[in-house]
Chains A and B, each alone.
Chain A
Amino acid sequence: DVKVTQSSRYLVKRTGEKVFLECVQDMDHENMFWYRQDPGLGLRLIYFSYDVKMKEKGDIPEGYSVSREKKERFSLILESASTNQTSMYLCASSDRGNTDTQYFGPGTRLTVL
């Protein structure tokens, strides 16, 4: 069965803290994605990766960075968390190609105080 797991379901951090969100997929997928989900805005792409050590900016990369050292793991990093980064963060993976199904993890609800 397809599985994308995220390290935390809920996370509370303080302004200025460095935050790591981890995502692991067990499907040997090439592509991995990080989205944030906000009411009325849908899902917005932060970063994606087509291969190990490869990354590409999405639509809203400001304030975020990513790391993909292994094929199955894709990390989202908030270098200095701010209150406007309070959101639901969703990780997804897909096989090759832009028309392949994306499989999503359950999400991490991050609150920055």
Chain B
Amino acid sequence: GENVEQHPSTLSVQEGDSAVIKCTYSDSASNYFPWYKQELGKGPQLIIDIRSNVGEKKDQRIAVTLNKTAKHFSLHITETQPEDSAVYFCAASDYKLSFGAGTTVTVRA
């Protein structure tokens, strides 16, 4: 089955700086790569996704890049704000989602 590795496990950034989270996957058949954000006491919520026919996608301060050859994809958050503090999960899907272990992002004011 699919194996997704996510790094780093924790990330602390100064407000206004950028944050980057990287994930690798094992199954070349995976064709859908979503990112979820989980705030304290809540379930994960989709923030952005990318499909295998696209290399990059951007939504305001959030962007995701995909390199299918290398089997890795990354989340970039620019101009970080305190409300970006949360746990972020990457995932990869062939017919079901497999999640990474998560990255706890802390934005320092």
Chain A interface residues (CB < 8 Å from chain B)? 4, 35, 40-45, 48, 58-59, 90, 92, 98-99, 101-107
Q: Mark B83-106, 1 if CB is under 8 A from A, else 0.
A: 000000100011111111110000
Chain B interface residues (CB < 8 Å from chain A)? 1, 4, 6, 9, 31-32, 34, 36, 41-46, 49, 51, 89, 93-102
User: Within the assembled complex, what's the spacing in Å between the Cα atoms of A4 and B32?
Assistant: 23
Cβ-defined contact, A106 with B101, below 8 A: no
User: Within the assembled complex, what's the spacing in Å between the Cα atoms of A41 and B98?
Assistant: 11
Contacts A98-B95, A99-B31, A99-B32 given; indicate if A43 touches B45 (C-beta within 8 A). no
B43 to chain A, nearest CB (A): 3
A35 to chain B, nearest CB (A): 8
Cβ-defined contact, A98 with B6, below 8 A: no
Cβ-defined contact, A42 with B6, below 8 A: yes
User: Within the assembled complex, what's the spacing in Å between the Cα atoms of A40 and B100?
Assistant: 9
User: Within the assembled complex, what's the spacing in Å between the Cα atoms of A104 and B38?
Assistant: 10
Cβ-defined contact, A101 with B96, below 8 A: no
The closest CB in chain B to the CB of A106 belongs to: B43
Cβ-defined contact, A90 with B51, below 8 A: no
A107 to chain B, nearest CB (A): 6
